[in-house]
Amino acid sequence: MIQTPAQAVRGKSPAGKAAKDNNGQSPKAEPHGHGHSHTHSHSHKGHGHEYEHASPPPPPALTPGRRRILTILEEAGQPLGAYEMIDRLASASGKRPAPISIYRALDFLVDQGLVHRLASRNAFMACGQAHQAHEMVAFLICDVCGSVSEAASQPMRQSLTALAQEIGFVARDQIIEVTGRCATCQDSALAHKEG
């Protein structure tokens, strides 16, 4: 099973169980050179990726506040703004955290590749893929229902890297946001037209 980076940090499998290897042992985390962790080997072959990851790095240390924010984003399953996170934290704990503390925690989580920032929505979401922290990522955002799908593509990254090199540009972040309609909303619109 593939773990999201956030699940690896929390030591959980996608089913919510503590991560174990085939022998029932907790796997050791070892570095493999990208800004977040996952405790498995997997290949992206056949999904537009032609590379493999092996040994994971140790998970970043998360303070209780950072862990709460990551958990809120994971449980939301959709992008949230900083003030929405403040409201959720306040309703859970009875204390309203200062916005600066939320933004600092979010900056850390983004830098670790555990959370992504969607600039067009001024919102954040937990990383749903096991990719490199600064790898090219595309977000497919539905204008109708607001769902967001995260995708990474080696050919897309190579094309944009080549384009940037042609003009002498050095990219800091490589995030693409594409808006449109998800398959579910397209099906609903089609059913509405036919009915």
Q: How do residues 14-27 score in pLDDT, each as one tens digit?
A: 444 444 333 444 33
Domains and CATH numbers, the chain: 64-124 (1.10.10.10), 137-194 (3.30.1490.190)
Long-range contacts of 93-100 (CB under 8 A, 24+ apart): 97/65
Distance CA 85, CA 73 (A): 8
pLDDT surpasses 50 at 1: no
Q: How do residues 43-95 score in pLDDT, each as one tens digit?
A: 333 444 444 444 445 567 899 999 999 999 999 989 999 999 999 999 998 99
- On whether the CB atoms of residues 85 and 75 are closer than 8 A, the answer is no
Distance CA 58, CA 48 (A): 27
pLDDT surpasses 50 at 12: no
Q: What number of other Cβ atoms are within 10 A of residue 104's Cβ?
A: 13
